Structure 1
Amino acid sequence: MNVHYFKSETALKIRAYLDMHLPRYTELLRAMVEINSFTRNQTGVNRLGDYTNKVFSELGFIPERVASVIPAYGKHLVLTRRGAGGRTIGCVSHLDTVYSPEEEEMNDFMWRVQGDRAYGPGTEDIKGGTIVMLMTLEAVRHAAPGLFEEVAWTLLFDASEEMESDDFGVLCRERLGRSALGCLVFEAGIIRDLNFSLVTSRKGRAEFRITVSGKGAHSGAAHRKGASAIVQVADVIKKMEALTDYSRGLTVNVGRVAGGSLVNRVPHSAEAFAEMRAFSPEVFEAALDEILKLNGYSSVSSADGRFSCKTAVEIVRRVPAWPDNPGSNRLLGLWQSAGELLGVRAIQEKRGGLSDGNFFWDSVPTIDGLGPSGGNPHSSERSPDGSKEQEYTVISSFAPKALLNAMAVIHMIESW
């Protein structure tokens, strides 16, 4: 006789287990946060990978370390566990954070607990998510051991998500293939009252470098012979920013500009760095085409008519859009069913920021935002007046989120 676990009794058993073990999970998070894993701190990233492997090894996972395509970065971590059946579920997190050791020391940014908040590097993004991943797996094993043993699990941890993750996306596609039931990404997810936000789509992103060649000249004696690269790049910036269309979910942002040398010289060079984001692949590609049309663009010439500025537009990096899609929505349906069982609501969120999910949503059904609730990601500063506050996670959000995840996973295994 088949035993079904997607029921209230299972949820009660899981919640009791998670509540009992919350002090242990909090201590594991503290240990992770105390390891500096800034992307460029190769030693720290690998040390966190070793610790993460140790934590998950108690569930029977076998480690593999995969070198990044960038030698200066740490190694990606892949943890696998064979299942009795032929089905696979993938889980994704990352090892790195945005904080250098120097920044942490300068801002006295370290593990501290204040009320229901745990502050520290990566508490929300994404070491807290790694702990919720562990909690989810342990909960399924505790309450539905037969289902846990049936599934093959592949856990993938990116060593360089905060800077360069294209090769990790390829790794995920290779290891999960197209037959996995789904891939669960443990970036943070906001919880407000009984509403749990889950991410089913993210904007794609293209980064650009714009360089302009002008003609230098003495700003007093030969101004008419000069062609200002700064004036030209300003015109290009206006045209790029004008592409922003909120109704289509399209944004263009020029975030850095430099040019010229001295105030007594017509500037002969200028450059700008920009990004474009969109949810829809069609909107993304159309905007990309419009921006690339500015390559070779010239609207500024010297007053004597002998020289025209030249614009060059270069794509530095592109991350594909993760649009609304049936696979992610189908997974969302499982979380919504689990939410109904638990008396909470799983809310669909379309997020403007990137995650590793952008690279493989079209290969395997993907859902994101499965980590804990928190705030101030990528923020290390703290001010006495409270206008600046450091990254934190909400401790009381861990058990409810892991419970929702575990019940949805149980529902997935039993119904798919």
Structure 2
Amino acid sequence: MTKEVQEKLQDFLGQQLPEAMELLRRMVETNSFTANVAGVDEVGRLTAEAFDPLGFGAQVVPCADTRFGKHVVLTRKGTGNKTVGFVSHLDTVFPPEEEVANDFHWREEVHGGQTRLYGPGTVDIKGGTVVVYMMLSALAAVVPDVFEKINWVILLNAAEEDFVDDFKTLCLAQLPQKETLACLVFEGGRMLGDDYQLVVSRKGMARYKISVTGRGAHAGSAHHTGASALLQMAEIVQKVSTLTDYDRDLTFNVGVMHSGTVVNRVPHLAEAEVEFRTFEEDVFTEALISMKSLEGYSTIRSVKDDFACQTHIVQTHHNEPWPVNENTNHLLKIWQRAGQKIGREVWPESRGGLSDGNRLWDYVPTLDGLGPAGGNGHCSERAADGSKDQEYAVKDSFVPKALLNTLGLLELCRG
């Protein structure tokens, strides 16, 4: 690729930025909390409308879980047999009432010379979808031979924040394994000064619901007949917490616990929700075994007749780790060479949060963190003292990140 092509791409992306920011504003101003079906579907419609002039056809696919909106697949058939997939999602974690309560809306602010775009989904992940739009628009305008040759597939998850299972099935059906050069995931990308980090691995995660049944009793006249489910759960919670092992990047978190109704009654039921995360597959397997071993756990009994509390463990989510692997590293090296062309270093990042990449990396080569830079993902609160701030994307990161990605894509597609 010549320096002239690189300069033309950069010029095009710079001129396109106002249009791209207007698209992002429209997306962000549409609430698409996962459970807001109408809002999620509207963001899907806006996205399909934006890509239509580039020749992309749209297919809407109902989510298998009818509580949620529709997945969207945008495709453009090329003249060749190679495919590139782009993965983003339509939903956010912010209910409409939370946005109103925290005055969390689209706006531009300057902080220390940095222009920030605040609003729900600016960095997670509507900004990433806009980067895809910028990249493909630039390819179509500046390098049409590559744009016309490749089969482009854009996959938009309606309920990524709820870990719906059917989106993986949809992706596998749309990305032919032997012909797919890459699956590119557009979660936000962190920066180290002027350098970039791209995600090459992610922790796996499993979630559980723990239920303890005991026996209720009057707290005054019949306390000795009761078996407190709350006390049993308190012991289990501590046992689970001790499984955390920072040296192995294994964390257990008891995030929710409920028990009891009134203070003059021995609690007969307790429930808790737990998740663990880790990078290593063998550590993940050990953690699964540790949680399974708690099934039937019982140490709290009634003084009267030895009636025992009983513990029941149900796994509600299971997402295997995305480990460092050869195929992802191959993509990283391509993007590192692209970075050298624009004077930027590109570094690998292992991230604790999940993405759809966890479910796709072992099927097709996958690289993540290709969206804009930003911060405070999943945060809607702001404090006057600066101790809390809302989600934002860095406006000045869109053009350079789109350029980096486009240069990487060109090398990948030209092979």
* TM-score bucket (shorter structure): over 0.9
Residue equivalent to 1:389:
389
Structure 2 residue 248 is matched with structure 1 residue 261: no
Match of 1:28 among 1, 23, 40: 23
Matched-pair contact (CA < 8 Å) for 1:8–1:342: no
For residue 270 of structure 1, what is the aligned residue in structure 2?
A: 270
What corresponds to 2:310 in structure 1?
Answer: 310
> Tell me, what secondary structure is at the counterpart of 1:236?
helix
Write the distance in 2 (CA, Å) between the matches of 1:323 and 1:141.
34
Pairwise CA distance, 1:239: 1.5
Alignment match, 2:49: 54
- Residue range with higher mean Cα deviation, 259-268 or 146-155: 259-268
- Contact 2:117–2:395 under 8 Å retained in 1: yes
Q: In the alignment, residue 152 of structure 1 is paired with which amino acid?
A: N
- Determine if the alignment matches structure 1 residue 133 to structure 2 residue 135: no
Q: Which residue of 1 aligns with 2:4?
A: 9
Pairing 1:41–2:36 present: yes
Does 1:213 find its partner at 2:208? Answer: no
Aligned to 1:158: 157
Per-residue Cα deviation, 1:53-100 (whole angstroms, up to 9, x for no partner): 111111111111111012231111101111111100000111111122
Q: Match of 1:117?
A: 116
**2:68 aligns to what SS in structure 1?**
coil
For 2:197 and 2:214, the matched residues in 1 are separated by 49
Partner of 2:411: 411
Residues 157 and 167, structure 2, Cα contact 8 Å, conserved in 1: yes
Structure 1 window deviating more from structure 2 (210-219 vs 62-71): it is 210-219
Partner of 1:337: 337
Q: Deviations over 1:364-394 (max 9, x none)?
A: 1100000001111111222333222211110
What's 1:354 paired with? 354
Contact 2:16 2:134 in 1 (8 A): no
Asked whether the 8 Å contact 2:183–2:367 carries over to 1, the reply is yes
CA deviation profile, 1:12-69 (whole Å, cap 9, x unmatched): 2211111122111111111111111111111111111111011111111111111101
Q: Is the 8 A contact 2:71 2:157 kept in 1?
A: yes
Alignment-derived partner of residue 69 in structure 2: 74
Deviation (angstroms), 1:344: 0.7
Q: 1:350 offset after TM fit, Å?
A: 0.7
Give 3-state SS (helix, strand or coil) of 2:353's partner.
Answer: coil
Instruction: Flag structure 2 segments of 5+ consecutive residues without an equivalent.
Output: none
- The one-letter code matched in structure 2 to 1:20 is Q
* Identical positions, percent: 49
RMSD: 1.4
Q: CA deviation at 1:322?
A: 1.2
1:305 Cα deviation from its structure 2 partner? 5.0
Whole-Å separation in 2 of the counterparts to 1:238 and 1:92: 39
Displacement after TM superposition at 1:286 (Å): 1.6
Q: Distance in 1 between matches of 2:402 and 2:129?
A: 11
1:142 aligns with 2:137: no
Q: Is the 8 A contact 1:91 1:184 kept in 2?
A: yes
**What is the CA–CA distance in structure 2 between the aligned matches of 1:81 and 1:238, rounded to whole Å?**
53
Using the alignment, how far apart are the partners of 2:164 and 2:129 within structure 1? 17
Letter of the 2:29 partner, please give it: E
Do 1:210 and 1:312's aligned partners in 2 also have CA atoms closer than 8 Å? yes
Q: CA deviation at 1:130?
A: 0.5
What is the aligned residue count?
Answer: 410
- Which deviates the most, 278-287 or 248-257? 278-287
2:161 and 2:43 map into 1 onto residues whose CA distance is: 15
Q: Distance in 2 between matches of 1:302 and 1:327?
A: 57
> Structure 1: which 5+ runs fail to align?
none
**What secondary structure, in the 3-state scheme, does the structure 2 residue paired with 1:23 have?**
helix
Instruction: Name the stretch that deviates more: 23-32 or 241-250.
Output: 241-250
The runs of 4+ residues in structure 1 deviating greater than 6 Å are none
CA distance in 2, matches of 1:11, 1:194: 19
Q: Please give the alpha-carbon distance, in whole angstroms, between the structure 2 residues aligned to 1:218 and 1:102.
A: 40
State the alpha-carbon separation in 1 of the partners of residues 211 and 76 from structure 2.
Answer: 50
TM-score (norm 1): 0.95
Please give the TM-score of this superposition, normalised by the length of structure 2.
0.96
Distance in 1 between the 2:217 and 2:37 partners?
47
- 1:191/1:397 contact within 8 Å kept: no
Residue number in structure 1 paired with 2:377: 377
1:321 is aligned to 321
CA offsets per residue over residues 293-329 of structure 1, 9 Å max, x none? 1000112222345211111111112122211111111
